Chains A and B, each alone.
Chain A
Amino acid sequence: MSLILLSLMVLPLIGAAFIAFNKAEWAKWLGLGWSLITFIWSVIAALAFFDWSDSGSMQMIFRREWIPSIGVDFSLGVDAVALLLILLTTLLGPICMAASFTAINERRRLFYASLLVLQAAMTGVFASRDLALFYFCFEFTLAPMYVLINLYGSTNRQAAATKFFLYTFTGSLIALAGFLYTGWKVSLWNGGLWSFDIATLTEYASRMSATEQTWVMFALLAGFAVKVPLFPVHTWLPLAHTEAPTAGSVILAGVLLKLGTYGIFRFVLPFTPVAVLQYAPAIAILSIIGIIYAGLICWVQRDVKKLVAYSSVSHLGFCVLGLVALNSAGMVGSVMYMVNHGLSTGALFLLIGFMYERYHTRSLNEVGGLASRMPIWAFFMVFFTLASVGLPGLNGFVSEFLCMLGAYQSGATWGVGGTAGPLGPWFAVFAATGVIVSAIYLLFMVGRIVFGPLQEPADHHAHEVLPTDLSVREISTLAPLAILCLVLGVYPAPLLIALEGPVAETVAMYDEVRANSAIAEAPPTVDTIEGESVVLLEREDLP
Chain B
Amino acid sequence: MTTLELTTLAQSGAEALAPITLYHYLFVSAVMFAIGVIGFLSRRNMIIMFLCTEIMFQAAGLALIAFSRLHFNHSGDVFVIIVLTVAAAEAALALGLVVYLFRRKGSLDALQWAQLSG
Whether chain A touches chain B in the assembled complex (some CB pair under 8 Å): no
Residues of A in contact with B (beta carbons under 8 Å apart): none
